[in-house]
């Protein structure tokens, strides 16, 4: 088992001294190599879950475990990616990919070797000496994935990494990410508000309620081609799964 939330709650202190409950008693497990998506309405605490897994802040109650170890701070087990690629604009692509390795005492030659390998995995050969502004949005996200993979994390956290891209780039990038992640065998937690994205990419989907976030449903996606969302997309069952999610999120009632 790679990741476990045990009765995790998180509240934030408000300005007036009151506190805001963002996540309420959330428990779930993610097995090794599994791809799990978390969907829910905006402001439901999706990103809070991600930040607690990354160790950026602590749960108010309960505990988060990564590889059976309690998360108490930023740690080497977890790599995360956001909607923003967070590439350092003053560094070339290869230096960006090496960024996460620098504070880990990896010797220079080895850093370069690992970075070049991930560059190839993410199909960016020939762009190592380019600067971020010279790359398209999709390529920049691939570079960010290469940087995440370079530190060889046990878990990859993806916080809406495709939401700033146009529809076609998004589809291609989902496909490329899914293939790369499957090949690397990484456990992945994807935070998204795109329901079909969740169905196309996941083994399992957790549905969160509105704030305070609670898990209201857990759906196992029993479909092949997890590593090729473009293929999975053609399967008629995808619509059924999306409809299930639709129902859980009560979107029809809200539209009425």
- Chain positions contacting other proteins, by CB under 8 A: 51, 54-56, 74-76, 78-80, 82, 84, 86, 88-91, 99-100, 102-104, 131-133, 151
Could you tell me the smallest distance in angstroms from the CB atom of residue 81 to other proteins? Answer: 9
Q: Which is nearer to other proteins, 2 or 205 (CB)?
A: 2
d(CA 60, CA 72) in angstroms, rounded, equals 12
194 Cα distance to chain centroid? 13
CB 151, min distance to other proteins, A: 7
User: Which C-beta is closer to other proteins: that of 74 or that of 239?
Assistant: 74
CB of 85 to other proteins, least distance (A): 10
Nearest distance in Å: CB 245, other proteins: 28
User: Could you give the CA distance from residue 248 to residue 83 in angstroms, rounded to a whole number?
Assistant: 25
Residue 11 vs 83, nearer CB to other proteins: 83
CB of 12 to other proteins, least distance (A): 15
DSSP per-residue string spanning 114-174: HHHHHHHHTT-TT-TT--GGGS-HHHHHHHHHHHHHHT--SEEEEESTTTTS-HHHHHHHH
Classify 207 as helix, strand or coil: strand
Computed on alpha carbons and rounded to an integer, the radius of gyration of the chain in Å comes to: 18
Which of 150/219 has CB closer to other proteins?
A: 150
Q: Which residues pair with 38 in a beta bridge?
A: 191, 206
Q: Give whichever of 27 and 72 is closer to other proteins, judged by the CB atom.
A: 72
Backbone angles phi, psi at 139, to 5 degrees: -65, -35
């Amino acid at each position: 088992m790679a990741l476990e939330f045990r009765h995790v709650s998180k509240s934030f202190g408000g300005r007036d001294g009151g506190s805001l409950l963002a996540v309420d008693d959330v428990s779930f497990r993610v097995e090794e190599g599994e791809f799990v998506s978390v969907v829910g309405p905006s402001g439901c605490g999706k990103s809070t879950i991600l930040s607690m897994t990354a160790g950026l802040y602590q749960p108010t109650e309960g505990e988060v475990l990564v590889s059976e170890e309690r998360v108490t701070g930023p740690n080497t087990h977890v790599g995360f990616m956001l909607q923003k690629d967070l590439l350092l604009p003053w560094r070339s692509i290869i230096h960006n990919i090496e960024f996460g390795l620098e504070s880990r005492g990896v010797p220079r030659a080895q850093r370069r070797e690992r970075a070049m390998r991930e560059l190839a995995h993410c199909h960016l050969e020939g762009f190592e000496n380019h600067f971020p502004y010279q790359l398209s949005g999709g390529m920049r996200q691939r570079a960010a994935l290469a940087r995440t993979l370079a530190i060889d994390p046990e878990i990859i956290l993806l916080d809406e990494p495709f939401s700033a891209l146009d529809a076609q780039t998004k589809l291609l990038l989902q496909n490329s990410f899914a293939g790369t992640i499957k090949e690397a065998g990484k456990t992945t937690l994807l935070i998204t508000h795109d329901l079909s994205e969740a169905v196309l990419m996941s083994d399992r989907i957790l549905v969160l309620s509105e704030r305070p976030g609670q898990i209201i449903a857990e759906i196992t996606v029993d479909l092949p081609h997890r590593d090729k969302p473009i293929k999975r997309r053609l399967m008629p069952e995808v619509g059924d799964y999306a409809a299930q999610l639709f129902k859980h999120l009560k979107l029809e009632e809200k539209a009425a």
